[in-house]
Amino acid sequence: MIYLKLFWTFLKVGAFTFGGGYAMIPLIQSEVLAQGWVTEERLIDFIAISESTPGPFAVNISTFIGMDIGGFWGAVCATLGVVLPSFVILLLIAAFFTNFKDKKGIRALLWGIKAAISGLILAAVFSIGKTVLVEINVFPSVPFFASAAIFLLMLFLLYKKKHPILIVVLSAVLGIAFNLIYNLF
Amino acid sequence: MNFRYRDLFLTYLKIGLFTFGGGYAMIPLMKRELVDNRKWITEDDILDIFAVSETTPGPVAINSATFIGYKLKGFWGAFTATFGIVLPSFVIIVLISLIFDAFMSNRIVQYAFWGIRAGVLALIFNAFIMMFKKCPRHWLAYTIAAAAFILVAFLHINAIIVIIGSALLGLSTLFFTIEEKKK
């Protein structure tokens, strides 16, 4: 039953995402790519759109994947799944233990998780980097260093604190320009 | 306080509709709507709420909406605020998803997405740098980070298992004092 599976998958993603947004990507890769629901390339496109549309990234990406796999009700199940753990946990905290984060045990658990997250995101960079820079198969004739050049330029702009939407728009313009020019020759 | 669910819903609908990326990008709008306009909470409350939202699982945007909603009006307040912040995202993405494949069959759009994928790689790499800055300055933390990378990138271990494992390793800090190097 695809709806139940979507709900359960995103319930897990919601329950184990710490730090929000991009910290979700390695979890989505583990849970969603492993099921063969979407290709990595399609997932990257979903990430781009989720980043450049309004609202929380987590909701956007879950709705997108749910919709892609199970249509409207798939989107409902995935979104419900990703929101539910937050909702329940925050209700409990707001109602009973506002001071939970000062508990020694909780802080120790979070210390370990905080340590792991950068490694997990680096793993996402590694696998997405492989797809984007090495295995780009849409236009095999386009040299990979063109992708690498866009990547480095955007990294520089992010370092200069430019907004993510500008990054998406500018990379789109460069992508079009590069391919049009390349196809002239 | 003269309080209506409709106002809470509309306020969060606005926050969901006008922030991009969620999380911290929401803070300025939340301050304007909740603190300056509605006077429901104070600016210090926002910082406290984000401190809590950061240390609990799930998207920071959802966490803060649920928390503030509950503080204002109990369970149904939490429900109303969370529903309000999720709804715009949900509707917009459902609509985009309906035309996505037709859109992607256009050649110019394919060229654009060829460039965008490299931009997304930069966004995620940037997220890595941010998260690495938050990594505790300690050899055990660095070891956990390196192990997490190797386990997921090369051995394809599920990220959830790695998170559970590192949380348990974090418990070891209870038994010895962690002296973090100054940043």
Ordered DSSP codes for B52-98: HHHTSSS-HHHHHHHHHHHHHHHHHHHHHHHHHHHHHHHHHHHHHHH
In a domain, B113, yes or no: no
SS3 A31: helix
Predicted local distance difference test score (pLDDT) of residue A141: 56
Across the range A87-111, mean pLDDT stands at 85
SS3 B181: coil
8 Å CB contact between B124 and A121? yes
Which range scores top for mean pLDDT: A11-25, A108-122, A138-152? A108-122
Question: Which of A31, A97, A117 has the most B C-beta neighbours within 10 Å, making it the best mutation to test the interface with B?
Answer: A117
Across the range A9-34, mean pLDDT stands at 90
Across the range A141-163, mean pLDDT stands at 87
SS3 A54: strand
Across the range B79-103, mean pLDDT stands at 95
Among B53, B85, B103, the domain-final residue is B103
Query: What is the ipTM, given to two decimal places?
Result: 0.90
8 Å CB contact between A57 and A24? yes
- Using a CB-CB cut-off of 8 Å, the residues of chain B touching A48 are 113, 116-117, 119-120
Using CB atoms, pick whichever of A26, A55, A116 lies closest to residue B89: A55
Q: What is the mean pLDDT of chain B?
A: 89
Q: Which residue has the higher pLDDT, B122 or B181?
A: B122
Range of the domain at B164: 135-183
Whole-angstrom distance, CA of residue B34 vs CA of residue B38: 5
Residue B36 has pLDDT above 80, yes or no: yes
If one counts the domains in chain B, the total is 2
Give, to the nearest 10 degrees, the angle between helix A40-52 and helix B60-104: 120
In a domain, B112, yes or no: no
Using CB atoms, pick whichever of B20, B51, B147 lies closest to residue A119: B147
A147 touching chain B per CB within 8 A:
yes
Task: Delimit the domains of chain A by residue range.
Answer: 2-135, 138-185
Q: What tens digit of pLDDT does each residue of B135-179 get? A: 889 999 999 999 999 999 999 999 999 999 999 999 988 887 665
Q: What tens digit of pLDDT does each residue of B101-121 get? A: 999 999 999 999 989 999 999
Using CB atoms, pick whichever of B56, B147, B159 lies closest to residue A89: B56
Assess whether B28 and B99 both reside in one domain. yes
In a domain, B171, yes or no: yes
In a domain, B123, yes or no: no
Across the range B75-82, mean pLDDT stands at 96
Both tokens of B153, joined, read 């990138």
Residue A172 has pLDDT above 80, yes or no: yes
* CB-CB under 8 Å, A118 with B113: no
Q: How far is CA B149 from CA A74, A111, A119, A132, A134, in A?
A: 31, 17, 4, 19, 20
8 Å CB contact between A151 and B121? yes
pLDDT-based confidence at B183, cuts 50/70/90? very low
Assess whether B19 and B96 both reside in one domain. yes
Assess whether B81 and B157 both reside in one domain. no
pTM of the model: 0.90
In chain A, % of residues over pLDDT 90: 64
